[in-house]
Amino acid sequence: MSSYPEPIATFLGGEPTEEQWRAISYPLHPFVLVAGAGSGKTSVMAARVVYLAMVANGLIEADHAGVTPGNVLCLTFTNK
């Protein structure tokens, strides 16, 4: 049995690492996510949107508010 919400583990194709889970479940504040190439930053950002929507809809208990996907802005870029 997963210790993480099943929709998150399914989306990621497995359970997140502790570092990924901290980024996914971080309280609802703007923050910067910095990690190396191929570490899953974009997937973690998308999983965070799923997580925040689940919190907003009461599907996950959290000590912070959630938000619906239409109210989230995620930006990612590659600097080559």
**Consecutive sets of 10 residues in the chain, 80 residues long: mean pLDDT of each?**
84 93 90 83 93 95 93 81
Q: How far are the Cα atoms of 19, 26, 59, 75 from residue 30, in angstroms, in the given order?
A: 17, 10, 22, 12
pLDDT of res. 1: 41
Write the pLDDT tens digit of every residue in 27-44. 988 888 888 888 888 899
Specify the 3-state DSSP secondary structure of 32. coil
Rounded Cα–Cα distance for residues 31 and 24 (Å): 11
Predicted pLDDT of residue 2: 61
